[in-house]
């Protein structure tokens, strides 16, 4: 039985005269891996920005189903949405480049809970009861992502693909229930992309979380996700399983070039 995690109804985002997201409804269930695809400028990143509070909605509603009941995310700030268990990565890498790989992860574990507070008090989130527990969790995450050997290196020394992996570790460090990955494999070669995509699938299963993935390599995303949403010109063109999407005449016409 599936259990609903997030419901977004009739989301609209207008930038002046341009409607970047036009009446899009999507939902995500617990423990699923979902792909979000569509041509450049289709509105994928804007949709992520709406769901994570980076960009305010023009209209629509977003509901998160938690153990405490249904919570509306409308009007919430990114830090509040992060606290509710939603995490993300960005298309442009946002690391603390001069800090070590390990410190980047530790900061993600704590920072996130302090945003908006003018405090220098080092507050650990509930799930990391001690500094030692936090350090251990950080090391475990680095190991999963094959980053142990570079734990003490400044982030800026890492190759681009490795920096992207570190970004995912940072997003996971907050123990999210829902993780949005915006083109995590951008700039990687096909082999690295395939490896990362398999890793994302493994993480989604092992951590029992929901992952939503924007990925340009259509054949790759088709192989790993359970469901897909296809955006075009800000609107929802199609949704369904990879099989359904591949057979959908509207998708074939608009996105697969009529093949």
Ligand X SMILES: Nc1ncnc2c1ncn2[C@@H]1O[C@H](COP(=O)(O)OP(=O)(O)OP(=O)(O)O)[C@@H](O)[C@H]1O
Binding site for ligand X (CB under 6 A): 15, 18, 20, 38, 40-46
Q: Closest approach of Cβ 125 to ligand X, in Å?
A: 30
Beta bridge partners of 64: 6, 71
Is 88 within 8 Å of 182 (Cβ atoms)? yes
Q: Closest approach of Cβ 15 to ligand X, in Å?
A: 3
Q: Closest approach of Cβ 24 to ligand X, in Å?
A: 11
Is 82 within 8 Å of 112 (Cβ atoms)? yes
Q: Closest approach of Cβ 86 to ligand X, in Å?
A: 18
For the CA atoms of 165, 168, 174, 178, the dihedral, rounded to the nearest 10 degrees, stands at -160
Nearer to ligand X, 45 or 204 (CB): 45
Is 193 within 8 Å of 218 (Cβ atoms)? no
CA atoms of 192 and 198, how far apart (whole Å): 10
Is 87 within 8 Å of 171 (Cβ atoms)? yes
Nearer to ligand X, 14 or 74 (CB): 14
Nearer to ligand X, 59 or 129 (CB): 59
Residue 115: name the closest of 157, 52, 65, 166 by CA: 52
Nearer to ligand X, 81 or 237 (CB): 237
Q: Closest approach of Cβ 177 to ligand X, in Å?
A: 23
Q: Is the dihedral of CA 73, 78, 83, 89 positive or negative?
A: positive
Nearer to ligand X, 46 or 197 (CB): 46
User: What is the DSSP track for 22-60?
Assistant: EEEEEEEETT-EEEEE-STTSSHHHHHHHHTTSS--SEE
Nearer to ligand X, 42 or 101 (CB): 42
Q: Closest approach of Cβ 49 to ligand X, in Å?
A: 7
């Amino acid at each position: 039985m599936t259990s609903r995690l997030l419901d977004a109804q009739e989301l609209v985002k207008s930038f002046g005269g341009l409607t970047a997201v036009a009446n899009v409804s999507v939902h995500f269930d617990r423990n699923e891996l979902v792909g979000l695809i569509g041509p450049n400028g289709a509105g994928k990143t804007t949709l992520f920005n709406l769901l994570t509070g980076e960009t305010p909605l023009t209209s629509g509603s977003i509901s998160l189903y938690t153990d405490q009941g249904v919570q509306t995310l409308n009007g919430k700030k990114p830090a509040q949405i992060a606290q509710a268990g939603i995490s993300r990565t960005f298309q442009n890498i946002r690391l603390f480049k001069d800090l070590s790989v390990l410190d980047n992860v530790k900061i993600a574990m704590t920072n996130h809970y302090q945003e908006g507070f003018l405090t220098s008090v080092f507050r650990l989130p509930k799930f990391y009861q001690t500094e030692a527990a936090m350090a251990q969790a950080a090391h475990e995450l680095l190991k999963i992502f094959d980053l142990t050997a570079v734990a003490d290196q400044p982030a800026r020394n890492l190759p681009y693909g490795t920096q992207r992996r570190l970004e995912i570790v940072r997003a996971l460090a907050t123990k999210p229930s829902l993780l949005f990955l915006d083109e995590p494999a951008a700039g990687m070669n096909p082999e690295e992309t395939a490896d990362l995509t398999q890793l994302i699938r493994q993480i989604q299963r092992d951590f029992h979380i929901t992952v939503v993935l924007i990925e340009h390599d259509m054949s790759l995303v088709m192989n790993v996700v359970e469901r897909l949403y296809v955006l075009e010109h800000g609107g929802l063109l199609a949704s369904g399983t990879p099989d359904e999407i591949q057979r959908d005449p509207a998708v074939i016409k608009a996105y697969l070039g009529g093949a």
